[in-house]
Chains A and B, each alone.
Chain A
Amino acid sequence: MFAYYLDLALRSLKRNKVLTALMVTAIAVGIGASMTTLTVMHLLSGDPLPGKSSRLFYAQVDASPDAKGREPYDVLDYRSAMDLWSAQRADRQTLIANSMIKVRQTETNLPPLMLAMLSTTADFFPMFDVPFQYGGYWTADDDARHARVAVISADLNNQLFAGADSTGRILRLRDADVRIVGVLKPWRPSPQFYNVAGGRFSQGQTAGFYSRPESVFTPFTTGLEINDGHFSQFSCWGMPATPGHLQDAPCVWIRLWVQLDSAAKVADYRRFLVDYAAQQKTLGRFTTTQTRLRDLMQWLDFNGVVPRDVRLQTWLAFAFLAICLFNTVGLLLAKFMRRSGEIGVRRALGASRGAVFSQYLVEAGLIGLLGGVGGLLLTVTGLWLIRRQPVEYADLVHLDGTMFLVTFALAIAASLLAGVLPALRASRLAPGLQLKTQ
């Protein structure tokens, strides 16, 4: 029966090519627009560490004197960060500080580069499942000894060492020589979640959260030592005595991530943070006992990482799809009603209402399938256009298997939805009346 309906549908579509083309185009354009924006949304709002993100937490306390009655600062001051980290109360914990550093390869005469350096502790790599191409990460002992070691990104390895195994080679960071102990595989988390902070002050212009990870990673203590004077603050409540040297400054600039493997440990850590803040308040260093411990996805959510324009585009695309659907419903209705005579004959010859209904729904579904193919082409074109835009996430944009299937599902669902009403009306026609008017 289905094959017969399909044949009927094809014949009907061929009969009025202009109307068919109109409907297919409307669906294709609607699907193309909404799938392009939905794919970007999907890529930008996804979980950067699926399966693990619920065990990673971002800790916040606030040492500033004006902390009362507002959200705690997004990042930590040096002392609080060191206290919380050295307590080692979580399964894993890592500190993060960012700076720009001058990088030279001593063996060649390449001009120096200014690159982003992440100073962090050894736990960073296993916590965030960072993949290695050569070598590995440094040890906790290296952190303690301020060891002159570094891990570099695949991009930098390609640039300086033509992609060869560069472990054991020396890199000059500012004035210090460090030994490369590991080279990352190409690693492109979306967003660059471990650095996300301050999203609520960015007025929705958060594309920067999707930039590439740093080129150089050094132990936290080493980084602070070799790039002293070049750290910039997230915020300050007083002037740092020496600009760029923030260890004793009234400034916040360090991020603390912890891994907590069970609900009990999360509760324990929460209590630990509250106790720490209370103790610091008694000591007179804090004015508030406010603390926060959000898991990775909550933290991304709090920062509103998906750029405002991307969200706006998605809404717009779906409003557009809705208009295209109304359009299709109207046209299908017109098309089906025009065949009232035909329907009357079929009904008079014994076809049930259900049979007429399914026949017309098959026709609507076929239009959806054709629209889906067109929509897919338009989606691919749309994504290609976005990849050419000068935005940080441009290179992330691609159509994955899920979104490929979603495109067809959406197209067929949309046109079936559009087809239900006209098909229902068609199946409800009184056969006698239609035959009489002939």
Chain B
Amino acid sequence: MSLHPILAALRRHRLATMLIALEIALACAVLCNACFLIVSRLQLTQVRSGVDEASLAELTLTGYEAANAAELNARVIDGLRRIPDMQSVSVINAVPFGEHAGTAGISLDQAGQRRVGAVHFYVGGPGSFEALGLQLVAGSAPQASDYQPVLNFVPANATVLVTRTLAEHMWPGVDPLGKEFWCGELHFRVGGVVAHFARPRGGPGGSNTIEWSVFVPGQPGPQLAGVYLLRAPPAHLPRVLRDARAAIAKIAPDAVVDNQGSQTLSDLRENYFRQDRVMAGMLAGVIAALLLVTALGIVGLASFWVQQRRRQIGVRRALGATRGDILRYFQTENFLIVSGGIAVGMALAFALNLVLMQHYELPRLPLYYLPIGALVLWGLGQLAVLGPALRAAAVPPVVATRSV
């Protein structure tokens, strides 16, 4: 079929054609970027914490005095261990997706000249490393002698475990075992490497530094108290946590249970990413509404054109055009308009992405989003025009002989 008559007809309806093409262009720009936003949000929620989330819960106590902390730790650990199905109770300063407890800048030399960035120090008492279920990839797990008294927030001189990501960042391509780093006066030596261990909250650098964690073995005491890591079989964990909270009233009547900090890790994770999921859901809703409105616009305009051209269609049919010819005419016309819109829309999508990159620290839109967006809009256009086009094809040739 020759395109010439279609183009000639469109030229007669320049304004309406341009409007619908612009609508499609805008839809294309928003569609590509919204999809990209959804995907990046959902990717965020896929973070690997590196720990056995399903079997772990956190219990946080506040309102006790530092002077009584050592005794409180002993009472709580002893009391909670008696709860049926409890596998282990240990002291820790923070858990993934909970409140952060010790974020500090570290350097590769004692003078603090070769800075690495801010990492999160997880300080855990005996049993916590095993309870977390971290996957050791090099070196060894903390030995009993590694658990030293915590001075300020970490021991002064500790053998620690770092994540693979952090090790690769600090000593690219070098075996990190035995390497040293400093945080002010505090000295650390790497004794082991774990596969994954996410920091509690995304620190400076956002998702790129999410695995910048250090595990420091520490002796529970005044500076390591109040946060307890409970481990139980996943099926029993909610009940065990409930029992533990109830037991605290008897074990430590003076302490106050912190509700935010006393949840299973699965719940903490759920809450942590709730905002991202809500946002992704909202974006999906906008996309759906957008496609619907665009489709309705196409239907409206196409119906109008079909009605307007009833006589011409009749004439063509009388001159020998088949129903298929008429159908294809409207489909081709729609394809041309949508293609024009997509061409402008791709440029718009890119421009919108540049704005988003500036204001929302979003990466560049991957190019493959553009053809996907185009395919979706072409499909939508064809689907929307099908109804009016079929109606056009049904116009009988006899219309040509009638006056209006």
Q: A114-B258, A334-B300, A334-B304 are in contact. Are A326 and B290 (CB under 8 A)?
A: no
Residue pairs across A and B with Cβ atoms less than 8 A apart, 17 shown, are A100-B62, A102-B62, A102-B63, A111-B256, A112-B254, A201-B204, A203-B202, A229-B66, A243-B152, A313-B279, A319-B352, A320-B30, A320-B286, A323-B26, A324-B293, A327-B296, A329-B19
Interface-side segment among A188-196, A304-312, A399-407: A304-312
The 0/1 profile, CB within 8 Å of A marked 1, for residues 269-295 of chain B is 001001100110011001001100110
Find out whether the CB atom of B27 lies under 8 angstroms from the CB atom of A323: yes
The 0/1 profile, CB within 8 Å of A marked 1, for residues 135-171 of chain B is 0000000000000000011000000000000000000
State in angstroms the CA–CA spacing of A238 and B37 once bound together. Answer: 40
Find out whether the CB atom of B289 lies under 8 angstroms from the CB atom of A19: no
Contact of B300 among A29, A100, A322, A330 (CB under 8 A): A330
- B308 — which chain A residues lie within 8 A by C-beta? 337-338
Find out whether the CB atom of A320 lies under 8 angstroms from the CB atom of B360: no
State in angstroms the CA–CA spacing of A180 and B377 once bound together. Answer: 66
**Residue B307 is within 8 A (CB to CB) of chain A in the complex:** yes
A344 to chain B minimum Cβ distance, whole angstroms, is 14
Contact of A389 among B23, B30, B34, B278 (CB under 8 A): B278
Question: Which residues of chain B (59-74) have a CB below 8 Å from chain A?
Answer: 62-63, 66
Contact of A331 among B153, B184, B301, B352 (CB under 8 A): B301
Q: A26-B296, A203-B361, A390-B274 are in contact. Are A316 and B286 (CB under 8 A)?
A: yes
Of the candidates B26, B63, B278, the one having the most CB atoms from chain A within 10 angstroms of its own CB is B63
**Residue A333 is within 8 A (CB to CB) of chain B in the complex:** yes
Find out whether the CB atom of A308 lies under 8 angstroms from the CB atom of B27: no
Find out whether the CB atom of B293 lies under 8 angstroms from the CB atom of A29: yes
Find out whether the CB atom of A320 lies under 8 angstroms from the CB atom of B290: yes
- A22 — which chain B residues lie within 8 A by C-beta? 296, 300
Q: A112-B254, A309-B275, A316-B286 are in contact. Are A238 and B184 (CB under 8 A)?
A: yes
**Residue A239 is within 8 A (CB to CB) of chain B in the complex:** yes
Across the two chains, which residue of chain B brings its CB closest to A326? B23
B142 to chain A minimum Cβ distance, whole angstroms, is 23
Contact of A323 among B16, B30, B304, B359 (CB under 8 A): B30
A131 to chain B minimum Cβ distance, whole angstroms, is 29
Find out whether the CB atom of A26 lies under 8 angstroms from the CB atom of B293: yes
State in angstroms the CA–CA spacing of A403 and B138 once bound together. Answer: 61
- A100 — which chain B residues lie within 8 A by C-beta? 62
The 0/1 profile, CB within 8 Å of A marked 1, for residues 292-321 of chain B is 011011001101110110000000000000
- B3 — which chain A residues lie within 8 A by C-beta? none
Question: Which residues of chain A (126-173) have a CB below 8 Å from chain B?
Answer: none
Q: How many B residues touch the partner, as a band?
A: 35 or more
State in angstroms the CA–CA spacing of A208 and B63 once bound together. Answer: 23
- B301 — which chain A residues lie within 8 A by C-beta? 330-331, 334
10 A-B pairs closest in CB distance: A334-B304, A327-B297, A326-B23, A102-B63, A330-B19, A331-B300, A114-B256, A114-B62, A239-B152, A323-B26
- A112 — which chain B residues lie within 8 A by C-beta? 63, 254, 256
**Residue A438 is within 8 A (CB to CB) of chain B in the complex:** yes
Across the two chains, which residue of chain B brings its CB closest to A421? B15
**Residue A240 is within 8 A (CB to CB) of chain B in the complex:** yes
**Residue A113 is within 8 A (CB to CB) of chain B in the complex:** yes
**Residue B210 is within 8 A (CB to CB) of chain A in the complex:** no
Find out whether the CB atom of A320 lies under 8 angstroms from the CB atom of B275: no
B224 to chain A minimum Cβ distance, whole angstroms, is 11
Find out whether the CB atom of B152 lies under 8 angstroms from the CB atom of A327: no
State in angstroms the CA–CA spacing of A240 and B304 once bound together. Answer: 76
Find out whether the CB atom of B279 lies under 8 angstroms from the CB atom of A323: no
A273 to chain B minimum Cβ distance, whole angstroms, is 28
State in angstroms the CA–CA spacing of A318 and B15 once bound together. Answer: 23
Question: Which residues of chain A (200-239) have a CB below 8 Å from chain B?
Answer: 201, 203-205, 207, 229, 238-239
Question: Which residues of chain B (220-277) have a CB below 8 Å from chain A?
Answer: 223, 254, 256, 258, 271, 274-275
**Residue A270 is within 8 A (CB to CB) of chain B in the complex:** no
Q: A239-B152, A240-B152, A243-B153 are in contact. Are A316 and B283 (CB under 8 A)?
A: yes
A325 to chain B minimum Cβ distance, whole angstroms, is 9
Q: How many A residues touch the partner, as a band?
A: 35 or more
Contact of A333 among B16, B282, B293 (CB under 8 A): B16
- B356 — which chain A residues lie within 8 A by C-beta? 312
Across the two chains, which residue of chain B brings its CB closest to A201? B204
State in angstroms the CA–CA spacing of A23 and B289 once bound together. Answer: 14
State in angstroms the CA–CA spacing of A100 and B99 once bound together. Answer: 15
State in angstroms the CA–CA spacing of A22 and B292 once bound together. Answer: 11
Across the two chains, which residue of chain A brings its CB closest to B203? A201
Find out whether the CB atom of B26 lies under 8 angstroms from the CB atom of A326: yes
**Residue B20 is within 8 A (CB to CB) of chain A in the complex:** yes
**Residue B9 is within 8 A (CB to CB) of chain A in the complex:** no
The 0/1 profile, CB within 8 Å of B marked 1, for residues 406-432 of chain A is 000000000000000100010000000
**Residue B394 is within 8 A (CB to CB) of chain A in the complex:** no
**Residue B336 is within 8 A (CB to CB) of chain A in the complex:** no
State in angstroms the CA–CA spacing of A203 and B223 once bound together. Answer: 30
Q: A316-B283, A320-B286 are in contact. Are A330 and B20 (CB under 8 A)?
A: yes
Find out whether the CB atom of A327 lies under 8 angstroms from the CB atom of B293: yes
Find out whether the CB atom of A322 lies under 8 angstroms from the CB atom of B296: no
- B275 — which chain A residues lie within 8 A by C-beta? 205, 207, 309, 391
State in angstroms the CA–CA spacing of A19 and B356 once bound together. Answer: 35
**Residue A92 is within 8 A (CB to CB) of chain B in the complex:** no
**Residue B22 is within 8 A (CB to CB) of chain A in the complex:** yes
Find out whether the CB atom of B22 lies under 8 angstroms from the CB atom of A326: yes
State in angstroms the CA–CA spacing of A312 and B37 once bound together. Answer: 10
Q: A114-B258, A326-B26 are in contact. Are A338 and B294 (CB under 8 A)?
A: no
Of the candidates B258, B296, B359, the one having the most CB atoms from chain A within 10 angstroms of its own CB is B296
State in angstroms the CA–CA spacing of A313 and B29 once bound together. Answer: 15
Across the two chains, which residue of chain A brings its CB closest to B62? A114
Find out whether the CB atom of B23 lies under 8 angstroms from the CB atom of A330: yes
A156 to chain B minimum Cβ distance, whole angstroms, is 15
- B63 — which chain A residues lie within 8 A by C-beta? 102, 112, 114
Find out whether the CB atom of B256 lies under 8 angstroms from the CB atom of A425: no
The 0/1 profile, CB within 8 Å of B marked 1, for residues 1-40 of chain A is 0000000000000000001001001100110010000000
**Residue A335 is within 8 A (CB to CB) of chain B in the complex:** yes
Across the two chains, which residue of chain A brings its CB closest to B283? A316
Find out whether the CB atom of B289 lies under 8 angstroms from the CB atom of A33: yes
State in angstroms the CA–CA spacing of A338 and B279 once bound together. Answer: 42
Find out whether the CB atom of A331 lies under 8 angstroms from the CB atom of B283: no
A379 to chain B minimum Cβ distance, whole angstroms, is 15
A298 to chain B minimum Cβ distance, whole angstroms, is 19
**Residue B172 is within 8 A (CB to CB) of chain A in the complex:** no
Find out whether the CB atom of A323 lies under 8 angstroms from the CB atom of B300: no
State in angstroms the CA–CA spacing of A438 and B404 once bound together. Answer: 8
Find out whether the CB atom of B297 lies under 8 angstroms from the CB atom of A330: yes
Q: A22-B296, A114-B258, A331-B301 are in contact. Are A311 and B359 (CB under 8 A)?
A: yes
The 0/1 profile, CB within 8 Å of B marked 1, for residues 255-295 of chain A is 00000000000000000000000000000000000000000
Q: A240-B152, A323-B30 are in contact. Are A308 and B360 (CB under 8 A)?
A: yes
17 additional contacts (CB under 8 A) given A112-B63, A319-B29, A326-B26: A30-B293, A203-B202, A203-B361, A239-B152, A312-B279, A312-B356, A316-B34, A316-B286, A320-B30, A322-B26, A324-B293, A326-B20, A326-B23, A327-B294, A329-B19, A331-B297, A390-B274
